[in-house]
Structure 1
Amino acid sequence: MPSDIPPDMPSPGPQSRQARLAAIDGLRLVAAVMVAAYHFLGTPTPHFWGRTELRDFAPFLHKISCYGWLGVEFFFLISGFVICMSCWGRTPAQFTASRIARLFPAYWCAVLLVVMLVLVARIAHWPAATRIDARTVLGNLTMVPGPLGLELIDGVSWTLWVEARFYLLMAVLLLFGLSYRRAMAFCGAWLLAGVIALELHSPLLDEFVLPRYTGLFVAGIVLYLMHRFGQNLLLWLLLGFAWSYELTVLELRVTDHAIAPTGEGRPSWAVCSAVLTLCLGLLALAGVGPLKRLRRPWLVTAGGLTYPFYLVHQSIGIPLAKGLIRAFPKLGPLPSTAVSVICMLALSLLIHALVERRLGRLLKHRLTLDMRPWDLAAKPALPRTR
């Protein structure tokens, strides 16, 4: 069988199963903590904590936390690396089954927990920011409530729709067979499509190309190619182009996080770029640097808690923190946040152990069996070819 490896690059050799990169699990938790810090401590919403304003008695902490929204960008960057790794050697059907089993069980659990919280608040006549009905619940269970014109029950779930479209693009690539050259061509074509989408200002094209996040996903994919096949000048040039592109379009998201439509309280683009570049450096250290050899079981456990914690920290954790302040008026935002975060970590552990592991494993097994006829018709990608 002819090799797809360029003659000037050595074959990476056989590899049965990739060792888990514990450092990347740790980085996922760092990204989740960044987002939680933004939602709890850095939100620009006036009177978020009632009469007590965090920016008044802890201005430095508030100023740092207001950049925590970049944790979402960090998640997308990590996703480029992890999803490319997850795709390699799988058919589209296998990849689809693994993604459904990975995302939906914890998400369904989080949505139903929020619904239960709202119903309890109604019965007890407690204030509840979220109003729900049967149509809203059903639409949210699909994970695409935004496109359906419905309110998000779990506020952070808008990012899952972005991730789902990235998965779709990767599944299309898998249809052609995943190799080094095809992955490189895919990254270059996606960056070009992002530039065209920004120039055309086409909402339809934006939905498929994701021009605001293209550079993040591509940078993650390129770092994984470095991890799997080794570094070379072409990969570094592609990474540099992707990052230059991403830091340029970052200005659009910086504007979105201004306090007022006039731009008041707008985060600094230079600071945002520096923070995001630091995130890129950490992922490079974890994927192709010395941190890739890090083996710490607690980091793997932390990575397992990241997704459920991300899902529950805002829609359940923040109402809990505010409820603590109402019940104990002398309790300030910081103590209530600490208690709430600890409770959300405990809840995340339960969701991970009882829902993700059990229901996720069962769902993946059943879906794999149901999709087996598709696998027979598909041409599996060679695991270690370029």
Structure 2
Amino acid sequence: MSLTAYPTHVSGQDSLRDDAVARTAPTADVAPGPGREHKPGRPRIRVLDGLRLIAALMVVMYHYFGFASMPSAYGWLGVQLFFLISGFVICMSGMGHTVGQFATSRIVRLFPAYWFGVLLTSAFLLIWHVRRAPTIGEIAVNVTMLQGGLGVRSVDGVYWTLWAELRFYLLFSLVVWFGVTYRRAVAFCVVWLLGAVLTMKTPGIANTVFVSEWAPYFVAGIAFFLIHRYGQNVLLWGIVAVCFLISENHILALTAHTNKIAGRSDLPAWPAGLLLALFFALMAAVALGWLRVDWKWLSVAGALTYPLYLIHQYVGWTILAKLADLPYLPLRLGLVAFMLAAAWCIHRFVERPMARRMRPALARAFSSLDAPVLARSRRLLQPGRGTAPR
């Protein structure tokens, strides 16, 4: 395929109508990238579920083993992989959907397991006092997931990433509002990355809005999805390259920060940089269709990832403190297995039932928001009405 500035296999007429179609044609299927067949009924890219589980387990190992071994000492990099995957998946899930549908999918995905995690972690901390227990006010604010913006302490340490994700969703919802197309997604990537760079060293409202520290990971993920969906070109690889270089510099600073927190100076930065390069390479392989792992059990693995991430840290630390007399390695490995089982239970008995109840209510609530957009798009798609807006 030619590395041109715009995908050569997307026709001009298709690109003109893409804006309106993006608003009115929700689809469960992921459009194929170069050289791939479109397979109806297969909305998931299962290899991403596997990568998400790897990212979650990296973070779990870091929190349970810390600096006990060199591999676990770099487990915090699982967050970077999470954010890369998130950019890919959110762009994919926003394409062909209205902003109401997008908001419904995000709320249903985020909040049921999160609410359960807040209550479970709070109960552990209030009963066993291994760490400072949250106040009723802190728990109440944490239920909204807005504690990061309000300066309220999170019930669990891992929740800081959710504040970054939530801001990304809000920013990307602007693209979804107008309809996710190639041009709009690329423009969003360029504008967002530029804004993040300009505000990265200036703490304040602009830094918060642009999610400056983490934007390069999300933007790279979006660019990888566009490569997967439309094919590779110089512009998209250029965006990925810029994000990678910025991220590598960021990783060096984070490694130094991690050393400082741990009170040591012997953690070299080069393995972190190498791991980040591996993550970008894996995402590139997914985007280009080179990494095709389609085992069905990976969907289950992907479903475990979010609840595992939510409950593993403070609940796990409480269990480790209470069972500290048990052998070190069996205790931690057993705890990982226990947390995976608990994550499955949360997915099966909390997430799925609550999602079934929440989705229709949210769809009705957002229907009035989507109605004007849908009506306008349908008019644009009628014969004789001209081309769709660009």
Q: TM-score, normalised by structure 1?
A: 0.85
Structure 1, 273-282 or 157-166: larger mean CA deviation: 273-282
Instruction: Determine helix, strand or coil for the equivalent of 1:291.
Output: coil
Whether the aligned pair in 1 keeps the contact of 2:227 and 2:288 (CA below 8 Å) is: yes
Whether the aligned pair in 2 keeps the contact of 1:318 and 1:340 (CA below 8 Å) is: no
2:307 is the alignment partner of 1:305 = no
The one-letter code matched in structure 2 to 1:102 is R
Structure 1, 373-382 or 83-92: larger mean CA deviation: 373-382
Could you tell me how far apart the structure 2 residues matched to 1:246 and 1:7 are? 26
Query: What residue in structure 1 maps to residue 114 of structure 2?
Result: 107
The one-letter code matched in structure 2 to 1:132 is P
Q: Once the two structures are superposed, what CA deviation does each residue of 1:334-362 show, in whole Å capped at 9, x if it has no partner?
A: 11111111111111011000111110232
User: Shift of residue 16 of structure 1?
Assistant: 6.4
Q: Once the two structures are superposed, what CA deviation does each residue of 1:160-195 show, in whole Å capped at 9, x if it has no partner?
A: 000000001100122232210111111111111122
The one-letter code matched in structure 1 to 2:303 is G
User: Shift of residue 312 of structure 1?
Assistant: 0.8
Whether the aligned pair in 1 keeps the contact of 2:158 and 2:313 (CA below 8 Å) is: yes
2:178 is the alignment partner of 1:154 = no
Whether the aligned pair in 2 keeps the contact of 1:227 and 1:288 (CA below 8 Å) is: yes
How many aligned residue pairs are there? 351
Could you tell me how far apart the structure 1 residues matched to 2:209 and 2:59 are? 25
User: Shift of residue 93 of structure 1?
Assistant: 1.4
Structure 1, 180-189 or 160-169: larger mean CA deviation: 180-189
Query: What residue in structure 2 maps to residue 346 of structure 1?
Result: 341
Q: Once the two structures are superposed, what CA deviation does each residue of 1:242-297 show, in whole Å capped at 9, x if it has no partner?
A: 21122123333223212359x842643322111011011112223323224x2211
Query: What residue in structure 2 maps to residue 223 of structure 1?
Result: 224
Instruction: Determine helix, strand or coil for the equivalent of 2:260.
Output: coil
Go from structure 1 to structure 2 and tell me whether the alpha carbon gap of 1:16 and 1:160 turns closer, same or farther (over 3 Å shift).
closer
Which blocks of at least 5 consecutive residues in structure 1 are unaligned?
44-54, 56-61, 122-126
Go from structure 1 to structure 2 and tell me whether the alpha carbon gap of 1:21 and 1:260 turns closer, same or farther (over 3 Å shift).
closer
Could you tell me how far apart the structure 2 residues matched to 1:276 and 1:194 are? 20
The one-letter code matched in structure 2 to 1:273 is G
Q: Once the two structures are superposed, what CA deviation does each residue of 1:60-92 show, in whole Å capped at 9, x if it has no partner?
A: xx2221111000111011100000001001111
Query: What residue in structure 1 maps to residue 386 of structure 2?
Result: none
Whether the aligned pair in 1 keeps the contact of 2:95 and 2:179 (CA below 8 Å) is: no
Q: Once the two structures are superposed, what CA deviation does each residue of 1:209-245 show, in whole Å capped at 9, x if it has no partner?
A: 1221111111100010011111122211221122112
Could you tell me how far apart the structure 1 residues matched to 2:323 and 2:103 are? 41
Go from structure 1 to structure 2 and tell me whether the alpha carbon gap of 1:8 and 1:111 turns closer, same or farther (over 3 Å shift).
closer
Partner of residue 36 from structure 1, selected from 57, 60, 63: 60
Whether the aligned pair in 2 keeps the contact of 1:255 and 1:266 (CA below 8 Å) is: no
Query: What residue in structure 2 maps to residue 323 of structure 1?
Result: 322
Q: Within 5 Å, which residues of 2 pair with 1:181-196?
A: 181-196=183-198
Query: What residue in structure 2 maps to residue 238 of structure 1?
Result: 239
Could you tell me how far apart the structure 2 residues matched to 1:16 and 1:170 are? 19
The one-letter code matched in structure 1 to 2:340 is L
Go from structure 1 to structure 2 and tell me whether the alpha carbon gap of 1:152 and 1:266 turns closer, same or farther (over 3 Å shift).
farther
Instruction: Determine helix, strand or coil for the equivalent of 2:265.
Output: coil
Go from structure 1 to structure 2 and tell me whether the alpha carbon gap of 1:334 and 1:91 turns closer, same or farther (over 3 Å shift).
same
Go from structure 1 to structure 2 and tell me whether the alpha carbon gap of 1:67 and 1:84 turns closer, same or farther (over 3 Å shift).
same
Could you tell me how far apart the structure 1 residues matched to 2:296 and 2:140 are? 38
Query: What residue in structure 1 maps to residue 295 of structure 2?
Result: 296
Instruction: Determine helix, strand or coil for the equivalent of 1:378.
Output: helix
> Percentage identity across aligned positions?
39
Which blocks of at least 5 consecutive residues in structure 2 are unaligned?
16-20, 22-26, 31-41, 381-388
Query: What residue in structure 2 maps to residue 23 of structure 1?
Result: 47
User: Shift of residue 9 of structure 1?
Assistant: 3.4
Whether the aligned pair in 2 keeps the contact of 1:322 and 1:336 (CA below 8 Å) is: no
Instruction: Determine helix, strand or coil for the equivalent of 1:366.
Output: helix
Whether the aligned pair in 2 keeps the contact of 1:254 and 1:266 (CA below 8 Å) is: no
Could you tell me how far apart the structure 1 residues matched to 2:6 and 2:85 are? 27
2:313 is the alignment partner of 1:314 = yes
Go from structure 1 to structure 2 and tell me whether the alpha carbon gap of 1:256 and 1:361 turns closer, same or farther (over 3 Å shift).
farther
Instruction: Determine helix, strand or coil for the equivalent of 2:75.
Output: coil
Q: Once the two structures are superposed, what CA deviation does each residue of 1:310-340 show, in whole Å capped at 9, x if it has no partner?
A: 0111121221122222xxx2x2321111111
Instruction: Determine helix, strand or coil for the equivalent of 1:259.
Output: helix
